[in-house]
Amino acid sequence: MRLLHELGYTNVRHYRGGLADWKDSGNPIESAVPVGAQAAQPAEPRARASAYVAPEFRANRFENALLGLIERCSTSELSLVWLAIILLSGAVYWIAALAGRPVLLEHGVAVAGSLNGLATAVYFSFVTATSVGYGDVLPVGWARGLSVAEAVTSLMVFGAIIAKFVSRRQEQLVSEIHRVTFEERLDRVQTNLHMVLSELHAITAMCESRSVPYKRVASRLESAVRVFAGELKTVHDLLYRPEREPDEPRLRAILVGLASALEGLQEVLSCLPEEFSVSPILSGTLKRVSALAQEICGECVPRNYAPALTVWMDRIQALARELS
């Protein structure tokens, strides 16, 4: 229903009861007639689709086509169109004067079909297109309608040119914002991986000391693994659905941090005593970490990376298999 309204259809109704509701409303139904019996049976009334198209739908199609044409044209092409409208209109004014039917008056005197008259006609066309309107040259007769059409068309094209410049500037700003956001995202991943690695080393020291309650160890381990899973998902998306391609040194640092965190997680799990109880949340997060990390390898990711990067990707996959 909403889609039909957006397309411009206004006479739309929703029949909740389906075909039965349609029949109860008294609407015609087309019945199926065998091929051989078509000649013997009278024609049944058929519900035919109306060929009427709503005016607002036609307007929307025209507007969309016009906007699509403007988007496909470059700024230089629109500028040439704007200049062509001015010169062609000026030529029409001058040709009319050349034919002995002047349509422009300068200080009450008809503009002749001479070279000076051509310059005056082009001047008047520029003044009309820019909507300045000094009033020193005036159109008469049918030239008034042409000057109005020229003014409207020229202003629309000139507005499209200005919109192109504004849109290009906005695209540059959005691109710069995306770049800064992407760089901050990479910095956050590196920082969080370093924090996770430090936390895992601290948890390993707690396990080896045997003096810290297991409940405290479990809470810190669960928190660290959940943060690690989030950053691992970010790295996974960075490799499989990259918005931008990070430079090789930055990506290598991230992969090294990821491999180090996996090694630290293995050390923590290996030092836990047998009586340590793993919570369902921690167990599920560990499975998620293992599944995501196993999808990171030199041949898994859709893009070909440098050999130095694929070595670390394969290392990450091997550690994930050991973790599982």
Mean pLDDT confidence for 15-31:
65
Is 47 a member of any domain? no
pTM: 0.52
- Last residue of one domain, picked from the residues 72, 105, 133: 72
A 10 A CB-CB count for 278 gives 13
Q: How far, in Å, are 134, 242, 262 from residue 251 at the CA level?
A: 63, 12, 17
pLDDT higher at 59 or 146: 146
User: Do 135 and 179 belong together in one domain?
Assistant: no
* Mean pLDDT over the full length of the chain: 82
Summarize pLDDT for 63-74 with one digit per residue, the tens: 677 677 777 888
What is the b/e burial string over 284-294, where b = at least 16 CB atoms within 10 angstroms of the residue's CB?
A: ebbebbbebbb
Mean pLDDT confidence for 87-113:
91
Q: How far, in Å, are 73, 91, 117, 146, 320 from residue 129 at the CA level?
A: 20, 14, 18, 11, 69
Is 37 a member of any domain? no
Is 30 a member of any domain? no
User: Do 226 and 145 belong together in one domain?
Assistant: no
Is 50 a member of any domain? no
SS3 110: strand
User: Do 187 and 292 belong together in one domain?
Assistant: yes
Residue 192 is predicted with a pLDDT of 92
User: Do 164 and 262 belong together in one domain?
Assistant: no
User: Do 197 and 312 belong together in one domain?
Assistant: yes
Q: How many domains does the chain have?
A: 3
Q: Is pLDDT of 228 > 90? A: yes
Residue 37 is predicted with a pLDDT of 45
Of 310, 202, 186, 321, residue with least CA distance to 262: 321
Half-sphere exposure of 172 (CA within 13 A, CB side): 6
CA distance 45 to 27: 10
CA distance 174 to 156: 26
pLDDT band at 313 (very low <50, low <70, confident <90, very high): very high
- Contact (CB, 8 A) for 302 and 240: yes
pLDDT band at 46 (very low <50, low <70, confident <90, very high): very low
- Last residue of one domain, picked from the residues 153, 168, 183: 168
- What would the two tokens of residue 104 be? 């422009």
User: Do 192 and 314 belong together in one domain?
Assistant: yes
User: Do 164 and 277 belong together in one domain?
Assistant: no
Is 122 a member of any domain? yes
Q: Which amino acid is at 286?
A: L
Poorest-pLDDT segment among 112-126, 232-246, 279-293? 232-246
Residue 45 is predicted with a pLDDT of 45
CA distance 14 to 113: 67
Q: Is pLDDT of 264 > 80? A: yes
SS3 105: strand
Helices (H), the chain: 2-6, 19-24, 55-72, 75-98, 115-129, 143-209, 214-240, 248-271, 280-294, 307-323
pLDDT higher at 48 or 123: 123
User: Do 201 and 300 belong together in one domain?
Assistant: yes
Is 125 a member of any domain? yes
Please enumerate in sequence order all residues whose Cβ is within 8 A of that of 123, keeping only pairs 6 or more positions apart, or say none: 90, 137
User: Do 189 and 294 belong together in one domain?
Assistant: yes
Q: Is pLDDT of 257 > 80? A: yes
A 10 A CB-CB count for 276 gives 13
Is 8 a member of any domain? yes
Q: Strands of 104-106's sheet, edge to edge?
A: 109-110, 104-106, 137-139
Summarize pLDDT for 162-218 with one digit per residue, the tens: 888 888 888 888 878 877 888 888 889 999 999 999 999 998 888 887 776 777 888
CA distance 235 to 139: 68
pLDDT band at 36 (very low <50, low <70, confident <90, very high): very low
Mean pLDDT confidence for 143-169:
89
Please enumerate in sequence order all residues whose Cβ is within 8 A of that of 282, keeping only pairs 6 or more positions apart, or say none: 218, 221, 222, 225
Residue 244 is predicted with a pLDDT of 76
Q: What angle do CA 125, 129, 130 make, to 5 degrees?
A: 120
Residue 227 belongs to domain spanning: 171-323
Please enumerate in sequence order all residues whose Cβ is within 8 A of that of 289, keeping only pairs 6 or more positions apart, or say none: 225, 228, 229, 232, 262, 265, 320, 323
SS3 46: coil
Summarize pLDDT for 47-60 with one digit per residue, the tens: 444 444 555 555 57
Is 146 a member of any domain? yes
